[in-house]
Amino acid sequence: MLYRADSGGGGGVAVVAITRLGVETALNIKRVLVIEGLLSVSVFAPKKYVQPGVCELTGRFGDFVRDNYGKLDAIVAVMATGIIIRAVAPFVESKFSDPAIIGVDITGKFVISLLSGHYGGANDLTKKIAMGIGATAVITTASDSMGKQGVDELAKALHLTIENPKSLTPVNAAIVNDEIVVLVLVGNVKIPFDLINGFEVKQAGSCEEAMKIVNSYSAGAIITRAQINPAIFVDNPIRPFTVLRQRDIIVGLGCRKDSTCEHLVEAIRAALKTVNLPTDRIDRFVSVDIKCNSAAMLNVAKLFNVPIEFLSVETLRSFSHPELSPDSDLVKEKIGVGGVCERAALIIAGKDSKLLLKKNKLNGTTVAIAEGK
């Protein structure tokens, strides 16, 4: 899910090969990722191996890594792992900021998750590539090897921010060592239980109450929507714990005059399914103010029991963001701005928000999903 072109990641996925046979494998990988919906995929190779669909790799692979490390979501390197490790090593910083790094042998027999396996999505991407090209996925993170779910993996799947990242090591260690780890939901937090594996789930009214629950287990994770009191990190709890804050999920809407509530519901459910989110994770709907009397939109808001907000054309027109799709001349001619749902969702999601799903068209409607920081 992380590397969908319509997910609004950083710079997409770069597949880099340095041999003739490696280029064929790289193009096969790109084909698989495009079929999976990961459309922002580019293949790079030295000039002598460039062909349709392949961009020229200028300089050495290490130079490419240096110039693009902080700009890409993932680098899939079709070459020996030794080359990859030497090229990447000087730039490694943190599992929360490093791109996913994946190695593939030139014949496409093995796909190896090397860096940012959970939070960066390398493990998930490795599995997708391996399945698509008929290779063996090699994943060495302890929790995956044992069929367990780490807290950082849970955070990625549920769109949660890890408030105290240093806690991951002891909490994940408890998981790997078969200790009982609790997941405490605070207040009105709702999550899809089918994405949770191996945690004992409890409910609490506050973070303080959640801490008491955690301290009766070997370790725990707390999911909350509220701002966290910094004191909770320094009060020397008995057990290790990770605090996970639920990010806002904003759904931007657009529709024709003749669109019905049923049309919008179908489009919204399809969009949520694409990014693996349940309907109760929606925090707000948003659209353009010329739709403020749209029966379809107002009824959808009532049906999902979610607030809906309407923004002016001027507000939408003045907004810019690197993830926005190209303007639609037709929409611009009709309402004065080249797009609604993406802009609206990103504005309401707030500063540093990103698109989980670019505009998705269905039955005369458009839906985009943005995630707050």
Which strands make up the sheet holding 41-45, listed edge to edge?
Answer: 54-56, 41-45, 13-17, 74-78, 100-104, 110-115, 136-138
Residue 3 is predicted with a pLDDT of 38
Same domain, 229 and 253: no
pLDDT digits (tens, 9 = 90+) for 63-97: 999 999 988 999 999 999 999 999 999 999 987 78
Q: What's the CATH number where 297 sits? A: 3.30.420.180
- Could you tell me if residue 156 is inside a domain? no
Number of domains in the chain: 3
Considering 195, 229, 245, which residue would you say is the last residue of a domain? Answer: 245
Same domain, 92 and 168: no
- Could you tell me if residue 21 is inside a domain? yes
Residue 39 is predicted with a pLDDT of 56
pLDDT digits (tens, 9 = 90+) for 107-154: 999 999 999 887 788 988 999 999 999 999 999 886 766 678 889 888
Q: What's the CATH number where 27 sits? A: 3.40.50.11220
Residue 273 is predicted with a pLDDT of 87
Residue 217: how many other CB atoms lie within 10 Å: 20
pLDDT digits (tens, 9 = 90+) for 212-228: 999 999 999 999 988 77
Same domain, 237 and 253: no
pLDDT digits (tens, 9 = 90+) for 322-367: 889 999 998 999 899 999 999 999 999 998 899 999 999 998 999 9
pTM score above 0.85: no
The span from the CA of 87 to the CA of 293, in Å, is: 56
To 10 degrees, the CA torsion angle through 297, 279, 123, 170? 130
Question: What's the token pair of residue 366?
Answer: 């458009």
Q: Is the pLDDT reported for residue 10 higher than 60? A: no
Same domain, 115 and 197: no
Range of the domain at 17: 5-140
Residue 37 is predicted with a pLDDT of 67
- Could you tell me if residue 150 is inside a domain? no
Same domain, 193 and 209: yes
Same domain, 22 and 124: yes
The span from the CA of 285 to the CA of 297, in Å, is: 9
pLDDT digits (tens, 9 = 90+) for 13-63: 999 999 999 999 999 999 999 887 665 899 999 999 999 999 999 999 999
Same domain, 331 and 287: yes
pLDDT digits (tens, 9 = 90+) for 288-319: 999 999 999 999 999 999 999 999 999 999 99
- Could you tell me if residue 149 is inside a domain? no
Same domain, 30 and 42: yes
User: From residue 295, how far is each of 257, 259, 262, 313 by CA, in Å?
Assistant: 10, 9, 11, 20
Residue 208 is predicted with a pLDDT of 86
- Could you tell me if residue 152 is inside a domain? no
Same domain, 234 and 268: no
Render 85-127 in DSSP notation, one character per residue.
HHHHGGG---TTTSPEEEEE-TTSSEEEEEE--STT-HHHHHH
